Every structure is written in C-alpha cells, then in structure tokens.
Amino acid sequence: MGAECQLPSEAEWEYAARAGTTTEYALPSPEGSNDIGGKGLANCNDCGFGGEIPNKTEPVGSFPENAWKLCDMHGNVWEWLEDVFHKDYQEAPKNGSAWTSGGDPDRRVLRGGSWDVDQYNARSARRGSSEPNSPGARSGKFGFRVRCSSPGTDARMIVGSACGKAFNR
C-alpha cells in the first residue's frame, strides 16, 4: 500500500507556511524585520528579485526556505487547497481537517499569493478563492502542493514545491 496524497487543508497549509512563527512571513527577513518588500525573499510584485520583478512564475526553490525547509510559501503561485471557500471561520473544523461542506461550493480556498500580488497578499494569513473550473484557474498564477499520509497512521507530510524536501507533522 502506498501513501494517500491530497491537497492540504487550509489549516495544514498555514501551519506549514508559518513554520512555528507568529510573524506575517516565515522567511529569514533581515534585521528581524517583518517586511519582505524589495528584499528578493519571495516572488511578488513588490518583493524585489535581483532588482527586477519577474512578472512570472519562477522555478521551485528560487527563494529562501522557511524554518521547516519549505520553499515558495509566500508569492510565486496561489496554491489550491482542499477547502470550500467560506467568508469566515465560523463553524470551521477544529481538528485541522478540510472544510468541504457549506460555503460557496463553486470556489476553493487559495493561499500563498502569486507573483502578481503585493507583499500584503502574500502573508501567511492571507486567503483568496477562485473557481477551479474557470479558464483563469489554469494560468501560471496557480499551483499546488500535496499532503501525503502513510496508511494506518496519522503522520502527514506536506510536499510539492518544497525544495525537494518534505515537512513532517
């Protein structure tokens, strides 16, 4: 039997993105600053990238990893999650599982921001949503990583655009 893989829940994604921090960005920001603008730490339209904005998706691992060795959690592409979009967290599951009922059944949660958003929209807490079947959802601004589980255990691993590494939980 192999591992079971699926999109992570919104709670799992944020846990992995924050990597044990409580700051807006879990990146090695200079001088302990919480500002990633102009420093080339992420791929967003005011984050700086060698002095220029690439205006496109960059290869996995082009930007620094967080403390848990996950790359590209801020900017680069909006990441699809398992959760149906809800406008708030009222009645959300308390166990970190995906919220797949209620809400707007045509929309899914997106996290992480993209190369075409500002740093505010690339924060760990920032949420977006889109319709997975819309033509724009297949553009270079969207991507995903997966969460894998070993059969018979509750061990989970977030993989995907993770610098070739994995985060175990």
pLDDT digits (tens, 9 = 90+) for 71-113: 888 888 999 999 999 999 999 999 999 999 999 999 999 999 9
Q: Which residue has the higher pLDDT, 151 or 141?
A: 141
The 3-class SS string of 15-78 reads HHHHCCCCCCCCCCCHHHCCCCCCCCCCECCCCCCCCCCCCCCCCCCCCCECCCCCECCCECCE
pTM score, two decimals? Answer: 0.84
Confidence of residue 162 (pLDDT cuts 50, 70, 90): very low
Q: Which residue has the higher pLDDT, 156 or 74?
A: 74
Q: How many Cα atoms within 13 Å fall on the side-chain side of residue 151?
A: 4
Q: Which residue has the higher pLDDT, 168 or 61?
A: 61
The answer to whether residue 166 scores a pLDDT higher than 50 is no
Q: Considering the chain, what percentage of its residues have pLDDT values greater than 90?
A: 36
